Structure 1
């Protein structure tokens, strides 16, 4: 009976350990979207990647850069004028789908921002382009200049609203959109607008109208903002910003399915992506207290005298060097200089190792895995021989001094007689 109980307990323990191991593994999600990325906003660490440098169409996510240019060039209390270019825009348009607006009517910049980001009005985007840039062509240049400043190296913008039916030269990448989303989140005005579920807006001569945010995830499980997008070429797109337990993550999903009338697929993609991103753990590139790199350091066996030799010094970090497992290449660089072999100490840093992955960068201090005592150990025979020679020399000197003193004493005694 005791043997059976022992086997049962052993089996139960094995099952618990095995089950814990299995459930602790977090697998990357299978997404419908053809491209996606998630990034830790606080550290810039890339967590999840799927075709992040593929050139794709951003649709209405374009309006995030339009919103940034509005915020940087106008005050929220200023009035903007509704223009002919705005009036000519197709649905979804505030003028056509919510409330008619006459050319020449005005709207506060704050209302314009909400009409752009919550309702995603195609006409509102052109209203901004005309008021900020003078005309859509000049505004497109401003958009591309802003993209360049944000480091969006694989993006090109032509329209302020993202409509791409007439051209193929309005494009970006998931990685570039993660840069844009982070910039939008840093701008307090844009961030505040993205976080509104509804807003009451009106033009000078129009009736007030309530617009609702098209981001169906807003306010759910830490979603604090984002921007939706759709065209036939772009598919369903979404940028979402999350905050959970003080940690901020941005997700981008591009070219997902637009399953009308429910329109749920892209939001399901984002939920999977973000849940994975919060659960994912970094992988260890180099384990702490193990050799990361070995360098040769010259030194003189007898300080200031010689002979000169070199010693191989293994370097380590007192922290694990980590990154998330994804397909983006990282660069590792080492910086060491002016290392004195006779000052080696396992607790004194002699340089740094730097891990860089796109705009994520972290430096770790490097420590020698040996101290100056290793020099003595490596040269113990030389030091023993030197000590013997030194003893012999000292002994000879003593004998010589005694011999000289003896002669002086004998010479002195002869003079007194």
Structure 2
């Protein structure tokens, strides 16, 4: 993936395709207008957020999912939504980072819990691997599928160690696709239910939100904040800090602890697998590998991000009731954090993603020692966390590719169950470790 080329200037016009962005605006505003729905389910409360509706709306408009929708938007247009997903998460990450500064003392006090809750990845394998091997008859695919939550750093680890066309590589890709399709939605539902049960420290649950991708963290923490609104600022701060530390420590925990443990558990579990049950849930198929995608130049990224910021202002208007003009200074602050983060990613030759730099910049400007921190906090308070994540999920619905649809059709129920068990194990394991150390 290091040799991917920059998107050609002739293709830049497709990044700003009016139909794609207009559909995202319409679906996002409709989702925000519907609002939050809470459903008591006995053991807790199921919280349905606007991000869920937005994702479903655009998923149903995606021509890769429903071929007849090509009359609404072509596959060529829809595929450019994947770029928007990566960029639209940036202002949201900046908003989270701004929430860390005022809570810095509380976060420092919880230091060991934040640093070590990644060890919850061991629980991931304990819950998901036996089902994958003993119930669904998976082979070494189970190692890739259940060693972690299977986001981009984990794919890179498995690709380097085994290769993506190996059984382990196909396994991690299966869970990755399920995470792309349903991860954020599942995390929001699971977090809301567990929080409403009032059995764990809300800080531990917030830390557990940070073990996934940016969209997973956002959906998860938004559900927590909606369930326990009086702790919204604490949830935001702990989730953002946890997510930032995940980039620093998560890969090493996977490499030196979670992956070796999963290998060991697989050797033990596979001894109990029926000899005639050797058919894996996922078959190695060259058509299921991650397609190489051109990256965006800095100019392309920041130009598209400016368009997305306008959409976020509209979503915030409907959801928060703050008109775009009043919220503009806040959005400009977040946009500035994104610019600095993107430039730092280009300038500093270390393998740290732009959203990590954006988090750091946002945290720094919200610290009490920063001269304009009070102004930053007052202005950014006009932007709702939930409203900044809804358009992200709208773009995500359009970004589902034919490869991901094909994999879901091939592996379907089995890999979906394994993926959900993996997500559940990772979240609960991280929350339990954090709870024990608080």
TM-score after normalising by structure 1: 0.24
* Structure number with larger C-alpha Rg: 1
Higher helix share: 2
Q: Which protein, 1 or 2, shows the higher relative CO under an 8 Å CA cutoff with sep ≥ 6?
A: 2
Higher strand share: 1
